Amino acid sequence: MSASARELIIDLDAISANTAVLAECSASAALMAVVKADAYGHGLVPAARAAKAGGAAWLGVALLDEALALRAAGVDGPVLAWLLGVDEPWVDALEADIDLSVSALWTLDAIAAAARAAGRTARVHLKVDSGLGRSGAPQGDWPELVGAARRAELEGTLRVVGVWSHFAYADAPGHPTIDRQLAAFSEAIEIAEGAGLKPDVRHLANSAATLTRPDTHFDLTRPGLAVYGLSPLPQASPESLGLVPAMALQARLSLVKRVPAGHGVSYMHRYVTDRETTLGLVPLGYADGVPREATNVGPVLAGGRRQTIAGVVCMDQFVLDLGDDPASEGDVVAVFGSGASGEPTAQDWADAVGTISYEIVTRMGPRVRRRYVGGQP
């Protein structure tokens, strides 16, 4: 490890290899790597490049800003942005050749107006709410949206490149909503095609569906979490899916000291030593993304042994009770990683604090230095 007090090590080769596994799983469908939220905390541009090297023909982001940041960094190829507000820089989006998701007539109108102003043909993906109940046009509004999109196509202001939707419960294989959403999506496609639309790509499958439901792949799969080597399926380890977690969080002990039995540790003394012992101070706190809920439960690997955080996680630091283990300032503490060296995984952290691995990796703060390993020069 380098001399950094705290760092996230991102394995770009793992991202490429995971993408290749998912691309193979996607068989005849192309793959869109989802790189929103700074590529789930892994670094938007390096992760996007690594995913493309692994076979992602498409990239997907939530925000237009994220899509524009990819273009500003020179990342080319199709990029879809799907969480659009009323005051987006539509013309910038069209000039940057960003595909835009449309769930409502107002978005279609805004994009068509920008396309006329810019003298361009916009590329849009119409989104239907097949049952998630989040974004997407309600099924009752779908024929009207499709009809308006077809008229705009005939006018030359836009082209419907994609028709898409998103699952509510793909991480629970066999859940009845999966088949219901698949049927609703298939019906929405029929309606779109009946109105004269000929989308290049129909897409529905997130990581879980990419891995477990080939019948939902259509023309394009849309995995996020699995690209980063984490499992979306509670019953399956990354390893069993051929995936390798790409993010590791490490820090170096910044203080080691002996204290007597009965010594309160950290705010509110939520941990009290039961013997004379060694405390180790880890310079990572909730400002860095270590959940405060990890108080007295967060697992780490220190000195070759699994330890549990002692006491309250503070803004900048937490404490370990190292017993009589030899320890010195500068020793490496592995907070989470692939698990290959015995360290906890992001999934272990999610289980310990009652959340999902998505949240563990995306919440890492800006003070933690990012170090990229692997990848193409």
Ligand X SMILES: Cc1ncc(COP(=O)(O)O)c(C=O)c1O
Catalytic residues: 36, 267
* Distance in Å, CB of 93 to ligand X, minimum: 18
* Distance in Å, CB of 145 to ligand X, minimum: 17
Yes or no: say if 265 and 271 are a contact pair by the CB < 8 Å rule.
yes
Angle of CA points 62, 65, 71, to nearest 5°: 105
With binding defined as CB under 6 A, does residue 241 bind ligand X?
A: no
* Distance in Å, CB of 32 to ligand X, minimum: 8
Residue in 43, 78, 199, 224 binding ligand X, rule: CB under 6 A: 224
With binding defined as CB under 6 A, does residue 19 bind ligand X?
A: no
Residue in 21, 22, 30, 34 binding ligand X, rule: CB under 6 A: 34
With binding defined as CB under 6 A, does residue 41 bind ligand X?
A: no
With binding defined as CB under 6 A, does residue 238 bind ligand X?
A: no
Beta carbon nearer to ligand X, 42 or 166: 166
* Distance in Å, CB of 45 to ligand X, minimum: 19
With binding defined as CB under 6 A, does residue 298 bind ligand X?
A: no
Beta carbon nearer to ligand X, 224 or 303: 224
Please state, as a whole number, how many other Cβ atoms lie within 10 Å of the Cβ of residue 205. 30
Q: Which span (18-26, 73-81, 194-202, 223-231) binds ligand X, by CB under 6 A?
A: 223-231
Angle of CA points 361, 364, 367, to nearest 5°: 155
Beta strands of 193-345 (E only): which ranges? Answer: 201-205, 220-221, 247-252, 255-259, 264-265, 271-272, 277-282, 299-302, 305-310, 318-323, 332-336
* Distance in Å, CB of 223 to ligand X, minimum: 4
x/- track of binding to ligand X for residues 322-351 (CB under 6 A): ------------------------------
With binding defined as CB under 6 A, does residue 225 bind ligand X?
A: yes
Yes or no: say if 339 and 345 are a contact pair by the CB < 8 Å rule.
yes
Distance between CA atoms of 59 and 117, rounded to whole angstroms? 26
Q: Quick one: how far is CA 242 from the chain centroid?
A: 18
In the bound state, the residue with its beta carbon closest to ligand X is: 224
* Distance in Å, CB of 167 to ligand X, minimum: 8
With binding defined as CB under 6 A, does residue 246 bind ligand X?
A: no
With binding defined as CB under 6 A, does residue 207 bind ligand X?
A: yes
Residues that contact ligand X, how many (by CB under 6 A): 11
List, in sequence order, every residue forming a beta bridge with 30; answer none if it has no partner. 220
**Do the bridges between strand 220-221 and strand 201-205 make them parallel or antiparallel, or are there none, so unpaired?**
parallel
**Do the bridges between strand 220-221 and strand 30-34 make them parallel or antiparallel, or are there none, so unpaired?**
parallel
Distance between CA atoms of 308 and 319, rounded to whole angstroms? 9
Closest CA to 126 of 136, 134, 113, 116: 136
Residue in 223, 245, 339, 344 binding ligand X, rule: CB under 6 A: 223
Beta carbon nearer to ligand X, 206 or 266: 206
DSSP 117-148: HHT--EEEEEEB-SSSSSSSB-GGGHHHHHHH
Site for ligand X in 133-172 (CB under 6 A): 166
> How many CA atoms, within 13 angstroms, populate the side-chain half-sphere of residue 233?
22
Site for ligand X in 74-103 (CB under 6 A): 82
Query: Where along the sequence are the contacts to ligand X (CB under 6 A)?
Result: 34, 82, 166, 206-207, 222-226, 232
